[in-house]
Amino acid sequence: MTTEVITVILIGALALILSFYHHRQAASLRTMENVVQDYYAMQFRTLRREYAGSLDILNPFEWASNHVSAGMDKPISIIDVIRIVPEAQAVDLRTSDNRRVVISPYSWRELYYFDRKARHAKKGSDRLASFAARPLLNHNRFGWGIKTIESVTSNTDEFFDLEADVIGRKFGVQWNQPTRLYLHVVG
């Protein structure tokens, strides 16, 4: 009976000692994980800083054409800016085959509601101006005839937000390093 009690006590003591050392080892591993993550973040920041210096040479039409063409069956060439709608953070572009591409951080449904809200202005001068303005997505309430391409940082490359911010400024829109842009091909 005494040997059994001593065995149980020894097994309990061994379990406590092992548990203590496992906690210390887990804490050391967490510390090493944080060091490696900090090192990776530092390398990534340095790489992004170097890349940010070379972004001034980007052509906004070529960049937009490449991102739209990636989601389409055939390549699309963007040739002109039709208008800029700063309230919706949208750029309306014309393609070589006379379609329109609207680039915005908002989905087609949000742009539709923006157009709808703008059309129901309270003041007469605002109502006249909104009536004269062409809607961004051609009054399309169900999204028919609109091909939406979603560009997300996780699906493109790690510099997408930097590129999009520079391209937005070149187009005259403040996107502030977006992690997601919608490219709506209308028509």
pLDDT digits (tens, 9 = 90+) for 137-168: 776 666 577 888 888 877 777 788 888 889 99
**Same domain, residue pair 125 and 70:** yes
Closest CA to 184 of 110, 120, 96: 110
User: Average pLDDT in the 7-33 region?
Assistant: 90
Domain boundary, last residue among 29, 53, 77: 53
Residue 128 has pLDDT above 60, yes or no: no
Q: State the Cα–Cα distance between residues 100 and 86, nearest whole angstrom.
A: 17
Least confident range of 14-18, 93-97, 149-153: 149-153
77 plus 157 within the same structural domain: yes
Q: What is the 8-class DSSP label of residue 139?
A: T
Q: Is the pLDDT of residue 67 over 80?
A: yes
pTM recorded for the entire structure: 0.71
HSE toward the beta carbon, residue 28, CA cutoff 13 A: 6
174 shares a domain with 160: yes
Residues 39 and 83 in one domain: no
From CA 65, how far away is CA 74, in angstroms rounded? 11
**Same structural domain, 124 and 82:** yes
Helix, coil or strand: residue 137: coil
How far out from the chain centre does Cα 172 lie? 19
Query: What is the C-alpha separation between 135 and 5, in angstroms, rounded?
Result: 84
pLDDT for position 139: 63
13, 70: one domain: no
The answer to whether residues 66 and 48 belong to one domain is no
Q: Give backbone dihedrals phi and psi of 31, rounded to 5 degrees, phi first.
A: -60, -45
User: Which position has the higher pLDDT, 12 or 45?
Assistant: 12
Tell me: do 175 and 111 sit in the same domain: yes
Q: Is residue 83 domain-shared with residue 39, that is, in the same domain? A: no
Q: Identify the top-confidence range among 31-35, 51-55, 149-153, 157-161.
A: 31-35
pLDDT at 12 (0 to 100): 92
Q: How many structural domains compose the chain?
A: 2
Between residues 187 and 165, which one has the greater pLDDT? Answer: 165
Average pLDDT over residues 55-83: 90
pLDDT band of 102, cuts 50, 70, 90: very high
Task: Give the pLDDT score at 32.
Answer: 92
- Of the chain, the end-to-end C-alpha distance in Å amounts to 89
Same domain, 143 and 66: yes
* Phi-psi category of residue 4: left, alpha or beta, with phi > 0 → left and psi -120 to 50 → alpha: alpha
Domain containing 24 equals 2-53
Cα–Cα distance for residue pair 145/152, rounded to 1 Å: 22
- pLDDT at 183 (0 to 100): 92
Which of 65, 185, 72, 98 shows the shortest CA–CA distance to 137? 185
- Among 12, 30, 53, which residue terminates a domain? 53
**Side-by-side strand order, sheet with 100-104:** 78-85, 90-95, 100-104, 180-186, 146-152
Domain boundary among 21, 38, 53: 53
Answer yes or no: do 10 and 82 share one domain. no
Both 133 and 44 in one domain: the answer is no
pLDDT of residue 56: 82
Position 132 pLDDT exceeds 60:
no
